Amino acid sequence: MIFTVTSPRRLLEAAGLTPQSPEAGASHGPIFELAEKHGWDTDLYRADDLLGEGVYDPEPVSEFEACVATLAEGLHACRVYLSDESATRALYGDPFYQGREGFPAHMALREQLIALEVISDDL
């Protein structure tokens, strides 16, 4: 699950049950545990790559952060920049882009920044 916001009640309703359904407690115990801990109507956030697989948390999580965590999963070299300035600073200051191994990534980011007219093509 990349990102969702739900409540224990909505999880149970998705299974076609209500908290009062006689078979609900036996067949959907984890949902009842969530309801006991947080309440039936509390918004719970799930973002597996950010919080852990199957974890529902009442602390708000942004959809953007959840998506970035999913994109970066397993990619130790994944970089996401939220502004032109941070991308430019990284181009010249992040050790990842320096040296022989980082040269292709450096050039790719440089070309993107030139195409966006953030920096000029000064070579």
pTM, full prediction: 0.67
- Residue 123: inside a domain, yes or no? no
Q: Is the pLDDT of residue 123 over 70?
A: no
- Verify that 51 and 16 share a domain, yes or no: yes
Note the pLDDT of residue 50: 92
Segments forming the whole domain that contains residue 61: 4-71
**pLDDT tens-digit map of 24-59:** 888 999 999 999 999 999 999 999 999 999 999 999
- Verify that 65 and 47 share a domain, yes or no: yes
- Verify that 8 and 66 share a domain, yes or no: yes
Query: Which alpha helices (H) appear in 2-118, and where do they start and end?
Result: 8-14, 24-27, 29-38, 48-51, 63-72, 84-93, 99-115
- Residue 10: inside a domain, yes or no? yes
- Verify that 10 and 50 share a domain, yes or no: yes
- Verify that 8 and 64 share a domain, yes or no: yes
- Verify that 11 and 64 share a domain, yes or no: yes
Mean pLDDT of the residues in the chain: 91
Q: Is the pLDDT of residue 75 over 80?
A: no
Q: Which of 82, 43, 42 is nearest to 64 (CA)?
A: 82
- Verify that 22 and 67 share a domain, yes or no: yes
**pLDDT tens-digit map of 90-105:** 999 999 898 898 899 9
- Verify that 30 and 10 share a domain, yes or no: yes
Total structural domains within the chain: 2
